[in-house]
Structure 1
Amino acid sequence: FSSALFSSDGSASAAVFLEELVRNNPTVPNTDVLHVVSFNTALVLFEKFGSLNTTDVALDNNRTTHASISEDGVTLAFGGKSGVQVYGIRQRCGNNEDTFVLSLVLDNNPSDISWSLATIYTVNNVSSVLTNELIQGCNNCYASDENFARTLVVEEVCLSPNQRSCMQFNFTDSTSPMGPNAGFQAFLVFANGTRSVLKTGQGSTATTSVVVGADNPKCSQSAANSAARCKGKEDLFLLSLKFDLYPEETDWNVTYRLPNFDDVQWFGRANYTANEGNFVLYETCVPKQICFNFTINDSQGDGICCQNGDGEFIGFLNGNEMFRGGNFNSSEMIQFGLC
């Protein structure tokens, strides 16, 4: 780095590292890169922002450079050779939105990290959690060791009040424990500026899951309103499926026979992809007083837990848990209903 400086303004601070990229072609101007690291006192953490390119700095030993960051940490002003340049370095959420923040220090194996934030609801106010919508996540997205190894990554997600009140955060390190000095902190920053830590992890405690709003009545799926969603002679079947690191290996189906019919009826799903997220919630109305066979398969023979991630499946009938699992080999079959 050619130069470095530290400036503060109000309640926010920034360290700006200046890197001059000298070109041998005299017709192409030299490019200077501003690497910005800000300390956010409200969140009590350092935030690293994307590099800012400029041709206006022209560093040398006789030139004094100046930088200042706005009090809210959103704008950086930098004094270059031809004047002051202003950069926006943070994207704020809306006035009525809360912010989910994941501050992550990666180790030498960043590609082993996955995380997700999804909306949820509970069934009959018990510990079973169903995922309904993937808000945002990373499925081994820090794949470049050159770019991400031993770096600080800060992820921010804007949340509506409904999303924030009923959600689940999952963090997975497939080669736990994380290396020395690596770890994460996940927290919520509310619209009024207050913050709440959801989870902190490092070493062997990095793989974890935390639920927000499990005791909120708006997040609950009771047996009574489950049955009300189907016709009188039908029950509501729900399947909550959390994948391991390889969703494309998983398929499942449910088979059954109706009285006085020889044909086997079935429903299910295969051909999942990583782009669909880490969670699936499947629901359908099924006939009452029938024996069902649920079968789940893994093409690699290692199930969905626990060699390559913390996957799990949970089946419900009218809000009552029928089965749960994840640690199997190539296939597992479970009967439920009136058998």
Structure 2
Amino acid sequence: MSEQQTTQRPEHAQGGTYTVPGQEYVRDQNYLSTRITRDGADGYPVEPGRYRLVAARACPWANRSIIVRRLLGLEDVLSIGMPGPTHDERSWTFDLDPGGRDPVLGIERLQEAFFARDPEYPRGITVPAIVDTRDGAVVTNDFGQITHDLSTEWTEHHRDGAPTLWPADADERAEMESVMRRVFTEVNNGVYRCGFAGSQEAYESAYERLFTALDWLEDRLSTRRYLMGDAITEADVRLFTTLVRFDAVYHGHFKCNRSKLTEMPVLWAYARDLFQLPGFGDTVDFEQIKQHYYVVHTDINPTQIVPVGPDLSGWLTPHGRESFGGDPWGGGTAPGPVRDGEQVTAGHNPLVPR
């Protein structure tokens, strides 16, 4: 494949187009960047009940928004629709809902909301997306901006005791943004560079970058409980959604196989610490995660056989991270029980046994 060629196929959470210059995976990051803000500067003011978050549990980028919505207690003001774990080249679909339609938006495919915004919409149909229920048109699918704005623009509607996921201190914030940039480029996206590498050389380069970053994180987290210190932040949310998928899909399916997560002692303990906090592990559906990656990526897994493993019981074992002290909630409180209708399917998560 030449440097000029672009290929189109159903790619996880991006819905379609990515380029392969020199056979190295490059994520298409052109999103609808319209924002929902307090002042409504982009035409979309924060308004309880007006918007619907569409977020597939299978997708790590969407899983971020599910976690943040729950941590901040926005369930009563921002409804959620959850597509099924698989999609075709056109769109994510609501095949888990009665009649195959989202019960609020009334659509079968998320693509319909994108076409309501732009009938000629040319890019991938991605999750997470926020849809305006007034006209059924997507407002934004910019996953990074979505969780940032839920934390900073929706504060009037946060639950009492909600954690502060974005530090107010400018220096802390600058450090966190630097950490998140490295986590995104080297880890969140790094596993995809391994999985979709178009040559041995591209794969080996991506593999080296990924594990260099994971070793850096092992070192950073050996002296602090969370990425930024004593309390959870957005940075932890962003790293968690990759770590929780690592052994189930990235280690084998994407050939990220120097070490399993369970063989990286600091990261494994850190991931268990987060998993056992309300708002993190209780959003994770391991069966949907595996179904997505192993069924949709037919070029990587042409048989579409979904692995039975790995054993998930370890996620509930003691992690020992309390020895660092601190308070995960930064002086706030944990979110309450998962809302009815939003629970992970029994048996798909060790927190929700059959």
Measured against the shorter chain, the TM-score band is under 0.3
Question: Going by fraction, where is strand more abundant, 1 or 2?
Answer: 1
Larger radius of gyration: 1
Between 1 and 2, higher relative CO (CA 8 Å, sep ≥ 6) is seen in 2
Higher helix share: 2
- Give the TM-score, by structure 1 length: 0.25
TM score, norm. by length of structure 2: 0.24
